[in-house]
Structure 1
Amino acid sequence: MKHRGRHRRRRRGRALRAFLAGTAFALTAAATMISASQATVTDTPGRPIPLTSAADLGELRLEREPVAPADLDRLAAAMGRPVDVGAVLAGADHTLRGADACTADEKRALPAAPAATRAYCFGAADTASLRPGAVTAPGDSPDGRWQGERVLLSAWSGPASDGDEASGEAGAARVAFVDADDPDHLAYTWALLAVPADGGRDYRALASAVTGMVWYGSTLLVTADGADGRALYVYDVGRIQRADVESAAVGRVPGGWSAAGARFVLPAVGAYRMPGDVRIGSISLDRSTFPDGLVASEAVPAGSDRPTRLWRYPVGLDAARTGLPALDARGRALPDAAYETKVTGVRGVLARGSDWYVARAAGDADGRGLLGRLGDGGTASAKCGPDGSHQCWSAPAGPLSVTDGTGAVWSQAGRMLFSLGLNTIDRSLG
């Protein structure tokens, strides 16, 4: 997709960045004041403890479950030729507001420290019944571009039940394809995350919160809550289909195909199961290792006293399976490193070498979270306010994603989509 007025937008982009940096981000002042009760919260979980036994690593294995190629071909034949990411971005029909146009209530979701350097907000009407999830950019690109386009994906899910199961919307997950080429004007459109059904003659919505998401090559990995026995779903950004009927329904309808109001559909090309009651909470890409790694944090049930596990799967080097975890001789993906930690309520995870960065909930699940780093050098948490509170991160804490070449870390909370540099996070952690 070609853009006009690129130089004008670049000038506006420089002005925006200068405004954000020069004000030391006025949004920080608009953030919720840190209370005395929050200041009593400390975070001293100790160093992560390595898990090395075959039994420990086996509990974290992934078992591959591909969708039959014939099912995907049947669906594509019925829906029409798939479109590419550029075509999706060309159809962007919604606009993200810049930070200065977001309300004070919306900006309370932003971190108090370290402060965001770029921030935007989704429209209230567009996301009124949706829950924010993970955010990602093309992870193996040095600058977050896909085929020349700077693009972000922002995941959202419908309510767990909206009282109208026949509509197909209950819990339905979707992603906003965000055209991020112009930092002054981010536009987006919706694509429903779907799962082929009836041998590719139909599809259903992925009914799950998307708490983690990684885009690598043409592969998009998203977490699932395990309700259908699957921990991860696999999507291919080269298999985006158009929805030609606008309605609340999902799947084949009279006159064509509907996607709960979204203009596009991403049908899953595969999934992964995990044994027992292990559930993945968040995922991200680690490019500090060879091969690259897919890192994960565990979703520990509320009220459980079980330690939280963090682990890394090596990304396979097979060009035919770009972006997917490497498989052993038995067709399983096993972690090459795993740890347990006393940190609870992990909502986002990043890894760089031996350091693990975690965004975690604290106290009220919708309140301000904590951002910390765990590693061989010890532990550290960001602090803010005159009382040195650790509850400084977004409200609530959300997933983390980093663009390797630029070092930009993206997250979202409430209706706010925001980023800051990994180096800024490191400075805040000392």
Structure 2
Amino acid sequence: MKHRGRHRRRRRGAALRAVLTGTALALTAAATLISVSQADVTESPGALRPLTSRADTGPLRLREQRVPAHALNRLSAAMGGPVGVDAVLENTDRSMRQGSACSGDDRASLPLTPAAAHAYCWDPADAASTAWRPTAVTTSGDAADDGVWGRHRAVLTGWTHSTTTGRPTERGLARIAFADADDPDHLAYRWVLPVVPVQDGRDYRALTSGISGMAWYRNKLLVSTSAGGADALYVYDLDRIQRTTVDGPAVGRVPGGWSADGYRYVLPAVGSYRFTSGRCTASGPPCPGALAVDRGTAPDSLVAAEWTAPGSDRKARLWRYAFNTDNASNADKTAGSGSVTPAGADGTGSVEPARGGPLATDAAGRVDAVEAYRIRAAGIRGVLSYRHPGADASSWYVGRLPDSRDGHGGLWRLDGEGAQGARCGADASHHCWARKTGSLSYGQETGEVWSLSDRMLFSLPLAALDRSLK
């Protein structure tokens, strides 16, 4: 079934938009908003400072790496054939609670201003653990222009496990919650473990690195990690989700089948992007942090923020890569699950190979940033880019951790002239955004921004966010 036919369904979207654009939850204390001028330099990240020289933009260059198609199809066939996003969303086993049913500590993690329009806390089985924390969010509003993927609206959140607590087999793992958002009153989700094929597709290993950012574009999921390794971005094909067959603590091939530390589904990487000048360093390539999709550029683009520790003298870079337009028609036809051959139909469980990765490359497989800036802030955990109607250029939004790395962060809108942020509380603090600020995702079809605190998933209209920054 063609992609356009599968995901032009808006009935569920109407219910979701009605809730998300309704009255904001009365979950936080009243806040006093004060305009922020360029004179307020203590917290402000300042204006966008363009980076144009080759010395500045060269370290942002990537090179595409692909897992061979035969290795991916070998793994897929051995595991019984791939499934798509719909299969996961139609087999959810966790429920989310709405804001009023969440604990006081949960609600205290939400932004002080602007207030969340809708908020959710996690299933008690996951909320009880202090070892796992949500760090990144992306939605089907990033993936498709109408916000629907296959038969569903979906919200994906990336989680990172502490390397010092919990079961030894799960320390350092990353996992992704696939949430069915068709009914805004009853979000439900299922865990999927991201993995990396090894031994030419005969096995896989876990992605043992914290997720720092995620961006879902068409049928590809781009994931940045906090390890600072050779791979700046991992690429996952959402038509290649696989079912496991053994419920055990191991990750990979085991006697009797395939295991993933107890998770029912795995998502094998299909490629990666590496900085051509090596691993991230203080003087070279950035450590990739937050990611987001910008569907307001031509072509659509991926925006990224550099991770630097709060309080660091090393200030962050923001930059943009163009998405590949060569795959547009093919991806739009096959997204959702259309490119997946049903298991056993041809004896291979194969997936139609893409003609290239999601980012635009030159003939040598290199990816150059098409826009880059330096700001005077560190500790960036969320990034968005959006061009308002009538504006000459895009505004950039950044969610920033406080220097202590704890407590509520700040949310700022930046352009070439300066930065604006909200102040709140009796002390007119800039720390008004979510606690332990998470990533940002904007859906153009609903006009909503999704984000995370350390305990909750929430959304609010971009217009409300802009009003708070005046």
Q: Structures share a fold, TM > 0.5?
A: yes
Which of 310, 330, 339 lines up with 2:364 in the alignment? 330
Normalization by structure 1: what TM-score? Answer: 0.90
The answer (yes or no) to whether the contact 1:217–1:322 under 8 Å persists in 2 is no
Taking structure 1 as reference, are residues 240 and 157 closer, same or farther at Cα in structure 2, changes over 3 Å only?
same
Q: Which residue of 2 aligns with 1:212?
A: 213
The answer (yes or no) to whether the contact 1:30–1:108 under 8 Å persists in 2 is no
Which of 145, 148, 152 lines up with 2:151 in the alignment? 148
Question: Superposed, which structure 2 residues align to 1:75-154 within 5 Å?
Answer: 75-127=75-127, 128=129, 129-138=131-140, 139-154=142-157
Q: Which residue of 1 aligns with 2:379?
A: 345
Q: Which moved more, 1:114-123 or 1:271-280?
A: 271-280
Q: Deviation string for 1:198-218 (max 9, x for gaps)?
A: 221111111111121111111
Question: Superposed, which structure 2 residues align to 1:253-272 within 5 Å?
Answer: 253-272=254-273
1:306 alignment partner AA: R
SS of residue paired to 2:430: coil
The answer (yes or no) to whether the contact 1:193–1:268 under 8 Å persists in 2 is yes
Q: Which residue of 1 aligns with 2:426?
A: 386
Instruction: Give the drift of 1:15.
Output: 9.0
Instruction: Measure the CA separation in 2 of the matches of 1:369 and 1:266.
Output: 32
Question: Superposed, which structure 2 residues align to 1:364-375 within 5 Å?
Answer: 364-375=404-415
1:199 alignment partner AA: D
SS of residue paired to 1:59: helix
Q: Which moved more, 1:98-107 or 1:45-54?
A: 45-54
Instruction: Measure the CA separation in 2 of the matches of 1:399 and 1:342.
Output: 19
SS of residue paired to 1:29: coil
The answer to whether structure 1 residue 307 and structure 2 residue 309 are counterparts is: no
Which of 297, 305, 322 lines up with 1:289 in the alignment? 297
Give the alignment's Cα RMSD to 1 decimal: 2.5
Instruction: Measure the CA separation in 2 of the matches of 1:119 and 1:108.
Output: 12
Q: Which residue of 2 aligns with 1:395?
A: 435
- The structure whose RCO (Cα within 8 Å, separation 6+) is larger is 2
1:282 alignment partner AA: A
Instruction: Measure the CA separation in 2 of the matches of 1:251 and 1:321.
Output: 28
Taking structure 1 as reference, are residues 96 and 164 closer, same or farther at Cα in structure 2, changes over 3 Å only?
closer
Q: Which residue of 2 aligns with 1:188?
A: 189
Q: Which residue of 2 aligns with 1:51?
A: 51
Q: Deviation string for 1:378-397 (max 9, x for gaps)?
A: 21011212332110000011
Taking structure 1 as reference, are residues 52 and 179 closer, same or farther at Cα in structure 2, changes over 3 Å only?
same
Instruction: Give the drift of 1:246.
Output: 1.6
Which of 310, 324, 329 lines up with 1:316 in the alignment? 324
The answer to whether structure 1 residue 426 and structure 2 residue 466 are counterparts is: yes
5+ unaligned residues in a row in structure 1: which ranges?
Answer: 32-39
Which of 445, 450, 454 lines up with 1:410 in the alignment? 450
Q: Which moved more, 1:324-333 or 1:411-420?
A: 324-333
The answer (yes or no) to whether the contact 2:30–2:425 under 8 Å persists in 1 is no
Instruction: Measure the CA separation in 2 of the matches of 1:375 and 1:30.
Output: 28
Instruction: Give the drift of 1:255.
Output: 1.9
Instruction: Measure the CA separation in 2 of the matches of 1:232 and 1:374.
Output: 25
1:85 alignment partner AA: V
Instruction: Give the drift of 1:58.
Output: 1.1
Q: Which residue of 1 aligns with 2:334?
A: none
Instruction: Measure the CA separation in 2 of the matches of 1:140 and 1:163.
Output: 33
Instruction: Measure the CA separation in 2 of the matches of 1:61 and 1:221.
Output: 16
The answer (yes or no) to whether the contact 2:310–2:403 under 8 Å persists in 1 is no
Instruction: Measure the CA separation in 1 of the matches of 2:19 and 2:57.
Output: 47
Q: Which residue of 2 aligns with 1:178?
A: 179
The answer (yes or no) to whether the contact 1:142–1:406 under 8 Å persists in 2 is no
Q: Deviation string for 1:198-254 (max 9, x for gaps)?
A: 221111111111121111111110112245411110000000000122222211122
1:173 alignment partner AA: A
1:339 alignment partner AA: Y
2:139 alignment partner AA: A
Instruction: Give the drift of 1:197.
Output: 1.4
Taking structure 1 as reference, are residues 405 and 182 closer, same or farther at Cα in structure 2, changes over 3 Å only?
same
The answer (yes or no) to whether the contact 2:228–2:287 under 8 Å persists in 1 is no
The answer (yes or no) to whether the contact 2:312–2:378 under 8 Å persists in 1 is no
Instruction: Measure the CA separation in 2 of the matches of 1:293 and 1:73.
Output: 29
Q: Which residue of 1 aligns with 2:251?
A: 250
Q: Deviation string for 1:350-371 (max 9, x for gaps)?
A: 0123311000001321210000
5+ unaligned residues in a row in structure 2: which ranges?
Answer: 1-5, 32-39, 281-285, 328-353, 388-393
